[in-house]
Amino acid sequence: MEEIIFPNQIRMYRRLRGRSMQELADHLGVSLSAISKIEKGYRRVDQEQLVRVAEFLDCPLQDLFVNEQNSQQEIVQAWRREQERRNKINEKTGLKTLGAGLRQIRNEKNLTLIEVAESSDMTLSVYHRIEMGQREVSDKEFKNIAKALGISAEELKDEIKRLDEKGMLEEIIQRNDAKYKLLSNPRGAIASFSTPAPDGMKISVYGVTGRDGNVIIDFDEEVKKAPRPSQLYNKKDAYAVNLCTRRLGSLLPTRSVLFVDPQEVVSVGDIVVYYANESEAKILSLREDDNGQLYGIRWNPEERINLSNDDMLRVHKVVFISL
């Protein structure tokens, strides 16, 4: 799952709840240093970690994001200064050109982000940041990327240079800059960190309120369309669901849209759509018991949903959330 970096109010809520950095670190399974960087907005976190932080601090997920209307101004300004500093460094080192070149060549070879990332022995998040021009690349990493693209390191360097000289990378750099501008303009929503979908590229949204907090999903009855997140551009089976239920408590606002990839493997901490029958679904937060068996949790009132191996075939992973 793609990671994000954002200015946040995690430290404020942690102190309000009387919880220590060590307790939060233990809850997420990371170091104290990592928590410090996360709270300062300098280290990336993924959706699963965000959900776990919100649960640990007993606050709505969207409240963790800095909002210019209700957050301390120095936090917002410090975030912007840091992003501007990093952006200037990237411009000087030519990372934007490198990233744009890699994206152009990858697209020409009809390869996906995850295919190149896995073949290069990188996480999707790391490789995505390289293509965005936001991360330096070691010699070993560059050779691995070249191999994943089916060419030598020297051929890759020459091809990027050729594309740059022909002016073919400028449009990609401009699109990356537009996304980067979103990153440096905190709006208090997960959707602010996604790449805008190309014109006309939409995804169908389904779901109306059912009984007992369930969601009725009829794939013949589209509710609306929403911009398709970048990680679902090549996922034909992906769809989106209205969060028209309060059975996840205050974790997410009811106006949220959940983007679902039925082919993605689920794991502990994921938010999932579980089909109790052909059209009735439950939105669950996935957990694991002492025996390693997965189960789902929802609230208002709290309810545990046991999931057999057969049930897991009807569980679809939420890979992106628009608040």
* Domain of residue 225, CATH code: 2.10.109.10
238 and 138 fall within a common domain = no
Rounded average pLDDT over 43-62 = 81
Q: Which residue has the higher pLDDT, 4 or 177?
A: 177
Number of domains in the chain: 3
Please give the mean pLDDT across all residues of the chain: 79
19 and 48 fall within a common domain = yes
Cα separation, 261 vs 191, whole angstroms: 17
For position 190, what pLDDT does the model report? 36
For position 265, what pLDDT does the model report? 83
Rounded average pLDDT over 247-276 = 83
285 and 246 fall within a common domain = yes
Which residue pairs, CB below 8 angstroms and at least 24 apart, start in 15-21? 17/57, 17/58, 19/56, 19/57
218 and 317 fall within a common domain = yes
The pLDDT of residue 197 is above 80: no
Q: Give domain status of residue 81, yes or no.
A: no
- The last residue of one of the domains, among 147, 167, 193, is 193
Structural domain of 167: 88-183
For position 223, what pLDDT does the model report? 92
61 and 122 fall within a common domain = no
Using one digit for the tens of pLDDT, what is the confidence trace for 125-144? 678 778 888 777 888 889 99
158 and 263 fall within a common domain = no
270 and 295 fall within a common domain = yes
Using one digit for the tens of pLDDT, what is the confidence trace for 205-231? 999 999 999 999 998 889 999 888 877
Q: Give domain status of residue 83, yes or no.
A: no
209 and 288 fall within a common domain = yes
Q: Give domain status of residue 145, yes or no.
A: yes
Residue with tokens 């021009």: 133
At position 28, the amino acid (one-letter code) is L
Q: Give domain status of residue 79, yes or no.
A: no
Q: Give domain status of residue 82, yes or no.
A: no
Please, which residues bridge with residue 65 across strands?
8
Q: Give domain status of residue 5, yes or no.
A: no
Q: Give domain status of residue 97, yes or no.
A: yes
Cα separation, 304 vs 4, whole angstroms: 30
Report the CATH number at residue 129. Answer: 1.10.260.40
166 and 214 fall within a common domain = no
Rounded average pLDDT over 9-24 = 87
Cα separation, 249 vs 260, whole angstroms: 20
Q: Which residue has the higher pLDDT, 254 or 14?
A: 14
Q: Which two tokens stand for residue 6?
A: 């954002």
The pLDDT of residue 65 is above 90: no
303 and 235 fall within a common domain = yes
Q: What is the greatest pairwise CA distance in the chain?
A: 62
For position 150, what pLDDT does the model report? 94
For position 151, what pLDDT does the model report? 94
